[in-house]
Amino acid sequence: SEGKDGDSAAENTPPQVPQGKLGERSSVFYTAGQFFFEYLVVVSLKKMPDGHYEPKITYQFPKRENLLKGQKEEEERLLQAIPLFCFPDGNNWVPITDFTSETFSFVLTNVDGSRKIGYCRRLLPSGRGVRLPEVFCIISCLGCFGLFSKILDEVEKRRQISMAVIYPFMQGLRESPFPAPGKTVTIKSFIPESGTELIELTRPVDAHLEHVEFQALLQRLNPHLILHIFASAMLERRLIFLAEELSVLSQCIHAVAALLYPFTWAHTYIPVVPECLLDTVCCPTPFMVGIQKRHLEQVLEQPMEEALIVDLCEGKIIRAVGDEEEILPGKLQNEVLMSLNRHNNNNNMHTSEQVNALVSEAFVHFFVRLVGHYASHIKWGRSGSGSFQERAFCKAITSKSCRRFVKKFVKTNMFSLFIEEAEKSRIPQEGNG
């Protein structure tokens, strides 16, 4: 649900899927004190004259007025896109009596490159007889899946009582500052017959992992396959993930993108592709997308370029380039594999936060071993601007297999963007003024 080519989007098209910049990492892991969210919208299915149901926004909080013309156009584009991503599985819905709530997220990038995340809870309203599911979607600039899942739990609890009980809770949330990493904010909320409740929302200490659930990936793919996917992502190839559940797609794709930290996936990134946008897979540039498995045949019929297709339901790769095993330097690949296998052997002994820390540490260590010497190959001018010495940087790598791989990696967007940022951000050394 992201994309950005720097062009302005057409008047009636949703914000495009991001081709992010390095700076976007910091736009997803924010400072404290910001608003928790921009909007809460409810997307309901409305029956059309042809008998099909189409998703439409039926509730929006807050309503925004006094917007400038440009802001109004941006808001309209955003509000047009949201229903599409809340019901990406098309309009083949019929009223039902039973439905298990599901939580998933999507990402939209505006034409100026700013990124917004939609946190969704799809649920069946309380009642009797057949009815249609609806989606509560919180739009925020803040990347913190765990925190927003808890907020959606509260929204769902209130929805079963009455829509009217949701409004004061969201108002209280909107008036609260977003907490710093490791800190807690307490929201007071009144519920009829229960009285006033205190809801505590705590941010994880490690801000770069707060939008990630590595366990979701480890439960579905073995460490060898994860390394093949990681290698393909490092070379900025086209990656397609298949699953039926929207929650599985969004969790696993966010996890794959997070393996690249401290680098950032710099291309089209759509955790759940709406059915009407399936031709995204024909894109000649790199992408990382999630597609519901029911659309696999449709996808395979598209005139696609080479892509890695990963089936998260079966835990296997169903289409590959063929060289995935050889991409990464053998020794470093084995070190990461050993770390992931160690985790698998202790599977029941770790909390979600511990799993996130262990997995992230293994991949960060890989990058440190591979390119951790980059800072000593930035030549600083008197004006304070830096210039990266690529040739000397590659030459300094003693291992032939590592050097061979790094020569490819330095040509990627994600490495270029990382270095551009590093060249700007010299920290004055003590004694140098």
> What pLDDT is stored for residue 231 in this prediction?
94
Reported as a single tens digit per residue, the pLDDT across 104-163 is 988 887 666 667 889 999 988 888 888 899 999 999 888 888 888 889 998 998 888 888
Q: Of 14, 18, 13, 15, which is closest to residue 2 (Cα–Cα)?
A: 18
Task: State both tokens at 83.
Answer: 């229903």
In whole angstroms, how far apart are CA 287 and each of 226, 232, 239, 274? 17, 11, 6, 15
Over residues 267-291, the mean pLDDT reads 89
- Identify the weakest region by mean pLDDT among 257-271, 335-349, 410-424: 335-349
| CA 102 to chain centroid | 17
Structure tokens at 263: 């680098």
Q: Tally helices (H) and strands (E) across the chain.
A: 13, 14
CA distance 38 to 139: 6
Compare 18 and 167 and report the one with higher pLDDT: 167
- The pLDDT, as a whole number, for residue 10 is 29
Residue 235 has pLDDT above 90, yes or no: yes
Model confidence band, residue 424 (pLDDT cutoffs 50, 70, 90) = confident
Mean predicted confidence (pLDDT) in 334-349: 75
What letter would DSSP give residue 13? Answer: S
The confidence band for 393, taking pLDDT boundaries of 50, 70 and 90, is very high
Tell me whether the omega of the peptide bond preceding residue 18 falls within 30 degrees of 0, making it cis. Answer: no
Confidence at residue 304, expressed as pLDDT on a 0 to 100 scale? 84
Question: With bands split at pLDDT 50, 70 and 90, how would you rate the model's confidence at 53?
Answer: confident
Which residue ranges form the domains of the chain, and what is each CATH number? Answer: 39-203 (3.30.450.200), 214-340 (3.40.50.11500)
Percentage of the chain beyond pLDDT 90 is 33
Q: Between the CA of residue 416 and those of 21, 407, 409, what are the distances in Å?
A: 10, 12, 9
User: Taking residues 31-45, what's their average pLDDT?
Assistant: 78
Helix, strand, or coil here: 138? strand
pLDDT band (50, 70, 90) for residue 234: very high
DSSP line for 163-201: GGGHHHHHHHHHTSPPPPTT-EEEEEEEETTTEEEEEEE
- Position 152 scores a pLDDT of 92
Q: What is the pLDDT of residue 344?
A: 66
Task: Convert the pLDDT of each residue in 345-370 to its tens digit.
Answer: 655 557 778 888 889 999 999 999 99
Q: How confident is the model at residue 212 (pLDDT cuts 50, 70, 90)?
A: confident
pLDDT (0 to 100) of residue 347:
56
Task: Output 93 or 389, whichever has higher pLDDT.
Answer: 389
Q: Looking at residues 360-389, what average pLDDT do you find?
A: 89
pLDDT of residue 161: 82
Share the mean pLDDT of the chain: 82
Is the pLDDT reported for residue 420 higher than 50? yes
Of 426, 427, 424, the closest CA to residue 21 belongs to 424
**Predicted pLDDT at 6:** 31
Query: Would you state the pLDDT for residue 111?
Result: 64
